[in-house]
Structures are given as structure tokens and as C-alpha cells.
Amino acid sequence: MSIPEGILARTKALADGINNGDSAAVASSYTADAAALPPGAPRMDGREAIKAFWQGAIDMGLTDVAIDAVEVEILGDVATDVGTISARLGDAELTGENTS
């Protein structure tokens, strides 16, 4: 599997985990030393903190998550992806950009 394919697979696993209400699956799509930087919230370091964050979002009703990669860039041993995300939170539809 190429690096871009691996990134896309992790992104799909993250969305699938949220949509299935499985925060452990969501957290496993991150590396062990990952940090999540949710807007308006403190930095989350490590899988357990990330799992707790996503469990809170799932408990609040986050569903119908779709993440579409627009661009994957590899710079040496670092890779980034930029794309769009859409989801529902209760009756509200959420859309925006995604970078990781």
C-alpha cells in the first residue's frame, strides 16, 4: 500500500468508526503519539485522550461523517492530507475543511 493509500485508509477508518459509534476504532486510526487539535478545545495527546474526545462527540450525536481527501502531499517522512468533511450533529449539518 502506498503512503497516500494508507492515509486514505486511515481517514476512512476514522469516519467509519464515528459512524459506527466506535471511539476505539477512531482512536486506532491515529498513531500512538498523535495529537488532536479540535477547534475551541484543548490539545488531545495520545490515543486515550483522542478516544475520549471522539466518544464525547459520538455521545453528542455526531453521525453521517464523510471525509474526502482532495490532496495528499509527502515531504520526506511527513505526509499531510487536505480535504473536506461533512457530518450531522443532531439536526445540524456540518461541513468544512479537513487537514491532517
More confident residue, 59 or 78: 59
Q: Which is nearest to 26 in space by CA: 7, 47, 1?
A: 47
| For the chain, counts of helices (H) and of strands (E) | 3, 5
- pLDDT of amino acid 72: 86
- pLDDT of amino acid 51: 96
Confidence band for 98, pLDDT divided at 50, 70 and 90:
low
Q: Domains plus CATH for the chain? A: 3-99 (3.10.450.50)
The pLDDT of residue 99 is above 60: no
Considering just the CA atoms, what is the radius of gyration of the chain in Å? 13
Give the pTM.
0.80
In this predicted structure, which of 6-10, 32-36, 88-92, 96-100 has the lowest mean pLDDT? 96-100
Confidence band for 61, pLDDT divided at 50, 70 and 90:
very high
